């Protein structure tokens, strides 16, 4: 930006223009000139002068009309205008009415002219600074509003994803911006289903507040373990709970991880069961784990979605859970084969499960084999 102020001199007499240039240029001002009103308006359309020195008497368009048009244009409405008058008070009054900021009489005094020019240039610079600051403030406000909107949208996405994903997974998706995995896709997963034995009797006999409190303790305890083992929570169904592994984040040890989590869940719920028993409630955990292929993705409707798995593997884990005795963890042969080196287990046998035409070989996992556990 050129620091020297630009003065537009408008006068139809070339000698007057040269005189003003001779006065202004040595004092550090740049000068542009126009010999008519039309030419002056054209210059204002292409240049950005800091002040206009405007003669009143000109052919076709006089100084009053030029000044009025300057004031009517929003781009030049606050541009300082000094009108050069040849007569007395009547022209000065008309100049002020037309929108002039100041005036000088012909023949003008150079010192007075320079003083009036400098004064209005200073006002113009103040005005430009205020306009610049206002524009910057508007830009900052717009950016802030956009950032707030972006953050609200991001928080909404995080809240939506965290309803069915572990917090680290949801954060990963938010940071990458990739939600493509939410579309339906096929993947091999390990599914854990668990529920509380004795819950139906509890719900029939206990006060609703007691049931609510027990469920809160139960969900809190197991939710912490789901996050720790990085499982994907599909749903809570009262005392039932479904978690799967190997989606959306690949998990090479999904069967073993699901068994480890089941054992941790059983230990955690056993601790809760002691306090429940003291309150007169007999409750125990039962778990079923299966491995197989499923179609996984977002299901639901606008405003309410779940991340769910559809396939026989989910049904199989639920049937094993229903078959399991209190504190028993039943797993399929595939899950057992992947985890048998580090678990203590026994063969239960071939079970006839509802919804499955062939018997399912199941194993009862009682704990971890300390000799086989390396980490």
Rounded mean pLDDT, 174-192:
82
What is the pLDDT, as a whole number, of residue 297? Answer: 83
Torsion region of 195: left, alpha or beta (phi above 0 gives left; psi -120 to 50 gives alpha): beta
Are 285 and 263 in contact by the 8 Å Cβ rule? The answer is no
Q: Is the pLDDT of residue 269 over 90?
A: yes
Helical H segments across 163-253, by residue range: 167-176, 199-205, 208-229
Name the residue with tokens 């100049």: 95
| pLDDT confidence tier of residue 300, bands split at 50, 70 and 90 | confident
pLDDT digits (tens, 9 = 90+) for 116-141: 999 999 988 888 888 889 889 999 99
Cβ within 8 Å of residue 231, ≥6 positions away: 166, 192, 243, 244, 245, 257, 258, 261
What is the pLDDT, as a whole number, of residue 167? Answer: 60
What are the start-end ranges of the E strands in 113-166? none
SS3 content of the chain, % helix, strand, coil (to 5): 50, 25, 25
pLDDT digits (tens, 9 = 90+) for 199-225: 999 999 999 999 999 999 999 999 889
Please state, as a whole number, how many other Cβ atoms lie within 10 Å of the Cβ of residue 247: 22
Q: Which one is predicted more confidently, 354 or 93?
A: 354
pLDDT digits (tens, 9 = 90+) for 65-104: 999 999 999 989 889 999 888 766 778 888 888 888 898 8
d(CA 293, CA 18): 91
What is the pLDDT, as a whole number, of residue 375? Answer: 45
What is the pLDDT, as a whole number, of residue 287? Answer: 98
Query: Which DSSP symbol is given to 366?
Result: E
pLDDT digits (tens, 9 = 90+) for 319-340: 999 999 999 999 999 999 999 9
Half-sphere exposure of 315 (CA within 13 A, CB side): 11
Please state, as a whole number, how many other Cβ atoms lie within 10 Å of the Cβ of residue 84: 25
DSSP H or E run through 242 = strand 240-245
d(CA 85, CA 83): 6
What is the pLDDT, as a whole number, of residue 159? Answer: 72
d(CA 231, CA 191): 10
Share of the chain above pLDDT 90, in %: 59
Rounded mean pLDDT, 234-246:
88
Rounded mean pLDDT, 152-179:
68
| pLDDT confidence tier of residue 284, bands split at 50, 70 and 90 | very high
Bridge partners, 233 (sequence order): 243
Cβ within 8 Å of residue 268, ≥6 positions away: 221, 222, 225
Query: Does this model's pTM top 0.85?
Result: no
Bridge partners, 343 (sequence order): 368
| pLDDT confidence tier of residue 317, bands split at 50, 70 and 90 | very high
Q: Is the pLDDT of residue 12 over 80?
A: yes
Q: Which one is predicted more confidently, 234 or 197?
A: 197
**CA diameter of the chain:** 119
What is the pLDDT, as a whole number, of residue 1? Answer: 46
What is the pLDDT, as a whole number, of residue 160? Answer: 67
Rounded mean pLDDT, 143-156:
84
3-state secondary structure of 144: helix
Are 118 and 79 in contact by the 8 Å Cβ rule? The answer is no
What is the pLDDT, as a whole number, of residue 163? Answer: 63
Pairing of strands 284-301, 102-105: unpaired
Pairing of strands 329-332, 284-301: parallel
| pLDDT confidence tier of residue 166, bands split at 50, 70 and 90 | low
Residue 186 sits at φ, ψ, to 5 deg, of -105, 135
pLDDT digits (tens, 9 = 90+) for 13-23: 999 999 999 99
Are 254 and 246 in contact by the 8 Å Cβ rule? The answer is yes
Q: Is the pLDDT of residue 258 over 70?
A: yes
Rounded mean pLDDT, 138-153:
88
Cβ within 8 Å of residue 23, ≥6 positions away: 110, 113, 114
Mean pLDDT of the chain: 88
């Amino acid at each position: 930006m050129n620091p020297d102020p630009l003065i537009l001199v408008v006068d139809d007499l070339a000698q007057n223009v040269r005189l003003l240039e001779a006065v202004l240029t040595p004092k550090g001002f740049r000068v542009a000139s126009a010999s008519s009103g039309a030419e002056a308006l054209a210059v204002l359309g292409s240049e950005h002068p800091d002040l206009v020195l405007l003669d009143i008497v000109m052919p076709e368009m006089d100084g009053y009309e030029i000044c009025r048009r300057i004031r009517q244009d929003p781009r030049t409405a606050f541009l300082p205008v000094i009108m050069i008058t040849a007569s007395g008070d009547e022209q000065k009054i008309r100049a002020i009415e037309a929108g002039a900021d100041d005036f000088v009489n012909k023949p003008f005094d150079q010192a007075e002219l320079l003083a009036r020019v400098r004064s209005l240039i200073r006002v113009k610079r103040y005005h430009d600074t205020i306009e610049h600051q206002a524009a910057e403030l508007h830009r900052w406000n717009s950016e802030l509003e956009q950032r707030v909107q972006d953050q609200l949208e991001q928080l909404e996405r995080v809240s939506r994803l965290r309803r069915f994903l572990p917090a680290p997974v949801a954060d990963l998706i938010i940071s990458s911006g990739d939600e493509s995995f939410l579309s339906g896709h096929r993947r091999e997963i390990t599914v854990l289903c668990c529920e509380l034995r004795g819950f139906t009797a509890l719900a029939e006999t206990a006060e609703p507040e007691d049931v609510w409190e027990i469920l809160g303790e139960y969900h809190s305890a197991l939710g912490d373990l789901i996050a720790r083992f990085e499982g994907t929570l599909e749903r809570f169904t009262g005392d039932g709970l479904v978690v799967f592994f190997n989606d959306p984040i690949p998990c090479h040890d999904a069967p073993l991880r699901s068994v480890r989590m089941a054992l941790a869940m059983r230990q955690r719920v056993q601790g809760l069961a002691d306090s429940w028993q003291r309150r007169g409630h007999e409750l125990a955990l039962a778990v079923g784990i299966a491995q197989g292929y499923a179609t996984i993705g977002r299901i639901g409707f606008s405003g309410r979605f779940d991340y769910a798995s559809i396939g026989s593997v989910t049904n199989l884990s639920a049937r094993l859970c229903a078959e399991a005795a209190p504190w028993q963890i039943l797993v399929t042969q595939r899950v057992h084969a992947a985890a048998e080196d580090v678990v203590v287990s026994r063969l239960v046998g071939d079970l006839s499960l509802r919804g499955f035409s062939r018997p399912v070989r199941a194993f009862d996992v009682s704990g971890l084999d300390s000799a086989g556990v390396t980490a």
